[in-house]
Amino acid sequence: MISQVFLLSAEGDHLIYKDFRGEAGRDVINVFYEKVNALPGDQPPVVMHHEGLHFVHVRQGGLYCVATTRSNPSPFTLTEFLNRLAALIRDYCGSLSEQSVSLNSALIYELLDEMLDFGYPQTSSTEILKNFIQTEAVTPKPFSLLDLRNVGLFGADTQHSKVAPSAAASRPVLSTRGEPGGKNEIFIDVIERLTVVIGSNGTLLKADIQGEIRLKCFVPSCSEMRIGLNEEFSIGKTQLRGYGAAVRVDECSFHEAVKLDEFENQRVLRVTPSQGEHTVMQYQLSDELPSPPPFRLFHSLEREPSGRQENGGTGSLSSPPSLSLSLSQELSSPDQSAELQPISRACAGRSHGSRGAALCTVQGLWRAPGSAPPLCWKSGRSACPSSCPSSPAPGCRSDSSACHPPSLPCPSAGYDTSRTPTPTPSAC
Amino acid sequence: MPYLGSEETVKELKRALSNPNVQSDRLRYRNVILRVIRFMTQGLDMAPLFMEMVKASATVDIVQKKLVYLFMCSYATLKPDLALLAINTLLKDCADPNPMVRGLALRNMCNLRMPGISEYIQQPILSGLRDKASYVRRAAVLGCAKMQNLQPDAEIDGAVVNELYGLLRDQDPVVMVNCLRALEEILKKEGGVVINKPIAHHLLNRMKDLDVWGQSEVLTFLLRYRPRCHSELFDILNLLDNFLGSSHSGVVAATTRLFLSLGAALPAVQSGALERARGPLLAACTAQSRELRFVALCHVQQVLRSLPGHFGAHYKKFFCSYSEPNYIKFRKMEILVELVNDENVGTVLEELRGYCTDVSPELAQAAIFAIGRIGQTYSEKCLSILTGLLELKQEQITSAVVQTFRDLVWLCPQCSESVCASIAGCEEHIQDSEGKQALVWLLGVHGEQIPGAPYVLEEFIDALKTEQSPAVKLELLTATVRLFLSRPAETQDMLGRLLTFCIEEECDMSVRDRALFCYRLLQCGVEEAHRVLGGPKSDPSLGVIAGRPEEPINSWAGDFNTLAPVYSREDWAALTATTGGSPSLIPQATAGAAQADPGSAEEAEAASSAAAAAAAPSPPGPGEELCLLSGPPLSPELFERHWLALEPSRRVSLGWPGGDCLPETLQAALQLVNIQALALSRPHARPWKAYLYAHSLGTVVLAELLRDTDAGGLQVTVKQDPEREEALSSFLTVLKTVMQTLGNSSSSLSSHV
């Protein structure tokens, strides 16, 4: 049973606080914040205790979601519950951030009141909860130059305005109540996280992909929808279909609401989505990638005439040409530098003999030709542990989460690729 | 939190709340209230506004109502007299035709934690229990628990308990789970809700209707139920088998725990359950939420304590990815070390070598120590990696490698040659005192194999004035004397300087004493010094001790899916010591092992004597309460042997609890105070007998309860091994209390069981 639930910002501001059992005072919030900040780097902060009170927290969107308890509950259930709370806030408020939480505190209090009674979870489904939630969400509207692209000359439609902006899916699920007609949209995101280790000569040493198909549904009552995957999609190393292992994953698991009767033969997932965000399918793939990764990394070590050594790394993206890129960088020492070369779509970083990692994040928006569904290239970041001048090549390591078209079990029927707003499914 | 101008804010809000213009505009009114709530969340004291907020509760706007209720529940304890004013509105809302309003009012009225509220909420709760809307019933059921919580000393209302037991059959699954929760809290003193056969089977049949939170909770309650026979046990296992593959990790973990507990005597069931739960557990280890990943990793570690090879084939799942926080990487490295086998050792070492050059020095050191631990089995491969790391000439890396070398050489003497060859030149890159100690130790013990050893030590001795750490100086003294014994010609001069400095100029007493000791030892003659300092240079047998033996699954099965695995073992021990026993409300799962096969008798005996030895050195203080421990289970055979061998320590007669006290009730109640019931007669058999045992203060207490005739009381015969007066008397006190409590409540319980 949960004693209290509170949400803190990264700076320790109290955003939400609700006491369910009166077992501890509100001063424990500050105790928690001091504890979580005072921990040395190697100590796990997930569960902490203070005078018989356990703090369990998850960190999402830069916020601490904390539950306290005096009993000895299941840590799995508690963390899952907090994650679910964060997901619900995201569903109802559009996004989870300090701003959206403080704008919608009434709504979140209402949510908490319905989700927990006396510290016991009552219900957590978006479907049921929406009957009880009366407050309407307030969405922050940041000014963005990107929005201006959608306005054509004299208000005419532009190429861009036919396409949903990349922030289209980050709006509250229930906001359609006020608007007549509303927007009946379903978004399918395919998100892949790549963990790749690349040797100093540019060869791929290790690769690991974790992917998921995420569905965000804004349609109040959706009929059944069919997601067709590539028919040559195969699971495991032994099972091969079609002309070989074109689309292969090691393991995959599905949401419990997905009906799999047509999956075995036709690779069709049948699902009747309820409102909100769900992960329909998760898959994993390691070692042998069916296609090269969407970027390459090269490592260079040069000795300058002055005797200094320059440790450099260049990452280039092998993505389609119409990609607008931006670069953000986290450098740990002043003699490191990073720059973006838009023409060759490469990001070069270099450092002079110093120790420390550099983190460069390349962000880009990719528009495929033709129907132009924008595919959000979320981030590809690379880090070179540029430690020691004469080291036997520590290698470059790259983590990226990106929509990575080649290896996708790409939805082929029913709905197009990701981020395409689709009208209420009537055909299926 | 003190806040600048908070009084001004309160005044301004007060004005706004009592402004009729604001009150008439619903949206403005709501916004002002929202501001109050926002300030309240930030920690400002908004209690002066209580009166105005109570007035605001009389509205048709549900959002406004919810906000005001939230405010009232936070401040009711501070202003009980004003809160009573709101009761009328709440009572009126409890009779509202809209079930949502009824439920909301009832729930929040029960949340007002103030003295004297219970007389107002009793009636609404009772009518709420019979409401036709399940939403209201849910709130009413938990309201019963809240009421009990307000007056912990009040008499338990038998009628309410009956009603709640009846509501277990409610249509709505959440009402059913809430009933279990409420009963658990109300009957906390009597050992919580009783799960007998009909209730257990009812719960099992309803499992499918529940949501994930309900499922995990019911599975935890089912831990209390002991199936009567094997066929029933296997029926239950078959029924729950699907939940092991659930996509919700909480349900998987709860099911696994139940399987482990039900199969306490059936190792095949336990390993089968862990086998089935492996996939979901691994999925949780790679979940998107970092916190969930961490919790899953902790549980993986726990499983590995008994089944070291369980995740062997999946070692790649435990490779760290760059963006993970350090606490996850540390856990993953610990797991990787456990999973090493002949096939994957190369890959794992290669991966660990990558971490050794990590930016975080703690992580790099931990990776090097991990390689060292693998080196205890696969020394050659690890040595070549470690030697390679030395070439990087990095401070922290070199220091960690040298420390690893020291431990390796001590455990695996065959490594010493290559270690000695590689540590030349390290001294330039070691700055921290642990690294220096390790290096000096190596130079002292294996000095005859390292050509430059005396010269390295000489450098340390020359820099003695600037050395801060006394530990390094102590190590240096011992090492120099040792080296003097093996290479006297080169060392004699510097040893003289070292001793002079340490005896005449050193301020630290321990260093000075050590120097004097060495000096006098050398005065006794070289042979004597050899005898004292020239001990063995390695101790391979220590490696066997350091390598953990496999623990039985039952030793941790009761802790699975609780907070215990998530804390480190030391933290958890400290925690439970301060709170007096594990805070878990669920009795230890080991009780079921009482029916264990006879083969485990010896084991149990060994374990019980071990537990006795562990508990023995802490004699109880004069005022200390007895705590009966849930020690290792006794098999019937072992019990019988003890019983026949021992003389009765005491005979007492107790009052019979009265009514028809059924074995399950008795057993459940006894288990809660950690008295295990080994065997009980059927309820109406005469004479009725029961055999009990308990562990306490390092002794085992055995007891026989005997009831000859219906009218007679209960004859208790107690035997003890070894004799311990305090334990005996406190055992009897506990037993007496249990019997009395049972007597009080058996009337209300027996109608349901």
**Per-residue pLDDT tens for B35-83?**
898 888 888 888 888 888 888 888 888 888 888 998 988 888 888 888 8
ipTM for the complex shown: 0.75
* CA dist., res. B58 & res. B64, Å (int): 9
Which chain B residues are Cβ-neighbours of A286 within 8 angstroms?
316
B664, burial (CB in 10 Å: exposed 0-12, middle 13-18, buried 19+) = buried
B698 pLDDT band, cuts 50/70/90, is: low
User: Ramachandran region of residue B103, left (φ > 0), alpha (ψ -120 to 50) or beta?
Assistant: alpha
Per-residue burial over A77-104, b = 16 or more CB atoms within 10 Å of its CB, e = otherwise:
bbbbbbbbbbbbbbbbbbbbbbebbbbb
pLDDT above 70 (res A419): no
pLDDT at B369: 92
* Residue A67 distance to chain B (closest CA, Å): 13
pLDDT at A197: 77
pLDDT above 50 (res A414): no
* CA dist., res. B19 & res. B711, Å (int): 74
Per-residue burial over B53-85, b = 16 or more CB atoms within 10 Å of its CB, e = otherwise:
bbbbbebebbbbbbbbbbbbbbbbeebeebbbe
pLDDT at A76: 94
The 3-state secondary structure of A178-247, one letter per residue: CCCCCCCCEEEEEEEEEEEEECCCCCEEEEEEEEEEEEEECCCCCCCEEEECCCCEEECCCCCCCCCCCE
Which chain B residues are Cβ-neighbours of A399 within 8 angstroms?
321-323
pLDDT at B543: 57
Q: A168-188: per-residue pLDDT in tens?
A: 666 777 654 555 445 677 888
Cβ <8 Å between A74 and B561 = yes
Cβ <8 Å between B316 and A286 = yes
**pTM more than 0.90:** no
Mean pLDDT within A381-410: 34
Q: Which of residues 11-70 of A touch B (CB under 8 A)?
A: 13-19, 21-22, 26, 29, 41-47, 49, 52, 54, 56-60, 70
* DSSP character string of B668-701: HHHHHTTPEEEEE--TT-SSEEEEEEEEETTEEE
* Lookup result for tokens 């990349």: A166
Q: Which of residues 347-406 of B touch A (CB under 8 A)?
A: 354, 357-360, 362-363, 366, 388, 391-394
Cβ <8 Å between B286 and A284 = yes
More confident residue, B634 or A218: A218
Cβ <8 Å between B567 and A49 = yes
Query: In a mutagenesis test of the A interface, which of B223, B256, B322, B398 is the best target, namely the one with the most A β-carbons within 10 Å?
Result: B322
State whether residue B133 sits within 8 Å of chain A by CB: no
Cβ <8 Å between A255 and B294 = no
Whether the CB-CB separation of A414 and A226 falls below 8 Å is answered with yes
Alpha helical stretches, state H, A12-152: 28-38, 75-93, 98-103, 105-115, 126-129, 145-148
Which chain B residues are Cβ-neighbours of A82 within 8 angstroms?
291
Q: Which of residues 274-293 of A touch B (CB under 8 A)?
A: 282, 284, 286
Stated length of chain B: 753
Is the previous residue joined to B722 through a cis bond, with omega within 30 degrees of 0?
Answer: yes
Question: What is the amino acid identity at position B110?
Answer: C
Token code pair at residue B538? 């390695």
* CA dist., res. A240 & res. A246, Å (int): 9
* CA dist., res. B540 & res. A395, Å (int): 37
pLDDT at A108: 92
Q: Which of residues 228-287 of B touch A (CB under 8 A)?
A: 246-250, 252-254, 283-284, 286
pLDDT at B316: 84
* CA dist., res. B724 & res. B169, Å (int): 48
Search chain A and give the residue with CA nearest B318: A208
More confident residue, B257 or B672: B257
* CA dist., res. B458 & res. A424, Å (int): 83
pLDDT at B624: 39
Element (H, E) at B633: none
The 3-state secondary structure of B108-134, one letter per residue: HHHHCCCCCCHHHHHHHHHHHHCCCCH
Q: A75-95: per-residue pLDDT in tens?
A: 999 999 999 999 999 888 888
CA nearest neighbour of A311 among A199, A202, A389: A389
pLDDT at A278: 83
* CA dist., res. B523 & res. A70, Å (int): 63
Distance from CA of residue B198 to its chain's centroid? 32
Mean pLDDT within B562-586: 69
Distances (CA, A) of B277 to A372, B198, B245, B259: 44, 28, 7, 11
B400 pLDDT band, cuts 50/70/90, is: very high
Q: A196-255: per-residue pLDDT in tens?
A: 777 777 777 778 888 888 888 887 777 888 888 887 788 876 655 556 556 778 888 888
CA nearest neighbour of A399 among A203, A192, A193: A193
Query: In a mutagenesis test of the B interface, which of A78, A96, A118, A258 is the best target, namely the one with the most B β-carbons within 10 Å?
Result: A118
pLDDT at A389: 31
B138 pLDDT band, cuts 50/70/90, is: very high
Mean pLDDT within A33-55: 84
Question: What is the amino acid identity at position A286?
Answer: S
Facing B107 at nearest CB: one of A56, A59, A117: A117
B751 pLDDT band, cuts 50/70/90, is: very low
pLDDT at B256: 93
* CA dist., res. B131 & res. B443, Å (int): 83
Cβ <8 Å between B291 and A42 = no
Mean pLDDT within A145-161: 52
pLDDT at A363: 54
As a whole number, the mean pLDDT across chain B is: 81
Mean pLDDT within B270-274: 90
A335, burial (CB in 10 Å: exposed 0-12, middle 13-18, buried 19+) = middle
Cβ <8 Å between A14 and B145 = no
Query: In a mutagenesis test of the B interface, which of A74, A110, A116, A195 is the best target, namely the one with the most B β-carbons within 10 Å?
Result: A74
B379 pLDDT band, cuts 50/70/90, is: confident
Which chain A residues are Cβ-neighbours of B331 within 8 angstroms?
44
| Cα B283-B284-B286 angle, rounded to 5 deg | 70
3-state secondary structure of B714: strand
pLDDT above 90 (res B393): no
**High-pLDDT (> 70) share of chain A, %:** 63
pLDDT at A258: 86
Search chain B and give the residue with CA nearest A136: B63
Distances (CA, A) of B171 to B132, B168, B206: 11, 9, 10
* CA dist., res. B501 & res. B92, Å (int): 89
pLDDT at B329: 92
Search chain B and give the residue with CA nearest A258: B247
Mean pLDDT within A54-74: 91
B183 pLDDT band, cuts 50/70/90, is: very high
Which chain A residues are Cβ-neighbours of B216 within 8 angstroms?
74, 76-77
* CA dist., res. A323 & res. A317, Å (int): 10
pLDDT above 80 (res B639): no
Cβ <8 Å between A123 and B211 = yes
